[in-house]
Amino acid sequence: MDRGIWATWYDLPEEGRDEYLGWLHEVHLPEALERPGYLWAAHYASEEKVINNVEGRLSHTPDPDIPAGDRFILLFGAETTGPFFNPTPAELAETYPADAKEMLGRRIGVRSAIFVEEARVDGPEVSKRSADMTPGPCIQMGSFNSGKLEDEDELGAWYAQWRLPCMETLPGCIGCRKLVSASSWAKHSVLYEFVSLEVRDAEFPKHEKGNPEKEAWTDAVVRKLVHAPGSPNVGLRLFPSV
């Protein structure tokens, strides 16, 4: 089971973007999948305009030291976090040939995190997940801190008692994973998988309608969170091709 995830958020300049993407998808990621313990790789492009239900409720870190790239999201999966620490991302980067270093050096605002899965639920469309466990064609991924130490238990309870159970019955949902950090500015992350952007936009923003009490609980929880730049991102998968 893929309980470890290495996530990288970044931007790219317009110039040379197609060259970079071709190299990443045709050379770099196939080579990465040959590393011991790596189970899958997935690359997503963040959507510019997203239908959601959190306008005006989210806070983002003002810390200028937190890299702010978020237009692309690169994910690797492994059984545990071990393959991502042996070697570490920094140690791995030292082994790359000059051409790979040049390509990866084109990325802007790079932010990386290594997460371990805390909890997982399967959605109604779990059968649409590929046999190698690669995440679905459309994802929503947030990374954040709870705000205050005393809010940690409430955040955990909200996921366990409300948000995750909702995803088990949400139309178009493949599954949802609640993640915690092994190495990241953000202690928490959540990864939703959907069969398409269209069904995500149609179903996810309204999933709490009809339950005012739980909707109020969500409002209280999300207003306390401090998100990474751009979080949460909704992305469409570029690799493997859909």
In whole angstroms, how far apart are CA 13 and each of 7, 67, 81, 100? 20, 16, 31, 17
The string over 20-43, giving b where at least 16 C-beta atoms fall within 10 Å of a residue's C-beta and e elsewhere, is bbebbbeebbeeeeeeeebbbbbb
State the pairing for strand pair 226-227/59-60.
parallel
- Boundaries of every domain in the chain: 4-239
| Residue 7 per-residue DSSP state | E
Return per-residue pLDDT of the chain as tens, 242 residues. Answer: 899 999 999 999 999 999 999 999 999 999 999 999 999 999 999 998 776 766 678 999 999 999 999 999 999 999 999 999 999 999 999 999 999 999 999 999 999 999 999 999 999 999 999 889 999 999 999 999 998 889 999 999 999 999 999 999 999 999 999 999 999 999 999 999 999 999 999 999 999 988 999 999 999 999 999 999 999 999 999 999 98
Residue 183 sits at the vertex; the CA angle it makes with 182 and 185, to the nearest 5 degrees, is 120
What fold does the segment set 4-239 form as a domain?
A: Alpha-Beta Plaits (3.30.70)
Tokens at 34, concatenated: 């040959």
pLDDT the model gives residue 53: 64
Q: If you search the block for the tokens 């190698």, which residue do you land on?
A: 132
